[in-house]
Chains A and B, each alone.
Chain A
Amino acid sequence: QEQLQESGPGLVKPSETLSLTCAVSGGSITHYYWNWIRQPPGKGLEWIGFIHFIGSTNYSPSLKSRVTISMDTSNNQFSLKLSSVTAADTAVYYCARSDSGWYYFDYWGQGTLVTVSS
């Protein structure tokens, strides 16, 4: 059974780049699709994008200009970069697995809160 664990700074300054990593254990990252999803405090869920090890990525149209998702197969992890952040990017960020590109999410990390503030 796969386990996912997010890590990264909990505080990011406005206009800077948010960077998070998701470490995958219990299975190879070369299988499946790997997603980032976020949830502002007290609000609903927003899909950010996915990556597959063959190199394909897909991003939410609303975030596409600021998002990069990459993969590190040697360390079995994938990463999120979100540039030019504002307070509206404050959220719990989750990594999650899916069997295909646009798909449902069957394994999730516990989530990590990122606050954007000076």
Chain B
Amino acid sequence: DIQMTQSPSTLSASVGDRVTITCRVSQSINSLLAWYQQKPGQAPNLLIYKASNLESGVPSRFSGSGSGTEFTLTISSLQPDDFATYYCQQYNSYSTFGHGTKVEMK
């Protein structure tokens, strides 16, 4: 099984802040990693696929980077609509999600 370690579990930030979330995986996944945003009572929404590709319609303030076993999601300037929980997902072998990072208002 591929293990996912997402950090931090909670992040307090203000509008305009640069936010970075990290996802570490237990083995190389050929950059087959996606990021999702989930708001309460809603389904997750795809933000990034294959580590750094921005899904159509997603604001450019979201970006993904990384390779090997460490990946990051960055929000360049946090907006009010961005307070949510973020999940990483590896899809190299089966499909496994990280435990989530809740971005809350400071």
Interface residues of A (CB under 8 A from B): 35, 44-47, 58, 60-61, 94, 96, 102-106, 108-111
A50 to chain B: closest residue by CB: B95
Task: Report if A104-B91 is in contact (Cβ < 8 Å); known contacts: A44-B97, A46-B97.
Answer: yes
Can you give 7 contacting A-B residue pairs, CB < 8 Å?
A: A44-B100, A47-B94, A60-B94, A60-B95, A94-B43, A102-B95, A108-B44
Residues of B within 8 A of A44 (CB): 87, 97-100
Contacts of B52 in A (CB 8 A): none
Is there an interface contact between B43 and A111, defined as CB atoms closer than 8 Å?
yes
Q: Is the interface of A mostly helix, strand, loop or mixed?
A: loop
What is the number of residues of chain B that contact chain A, defined by CB distance less than 8 Å? 23
B42 neighbours in A (Cβ, 8 Å): 110
Bound together, the chains give a CA A61 to CA B94 distance in angstroms of 9
Shortest Cβ distance from residue B8 to the other chain A in the assembled complex, whole angstroms: 15
- In the complex formed, the residue of B with least CB distance to A62 is B1
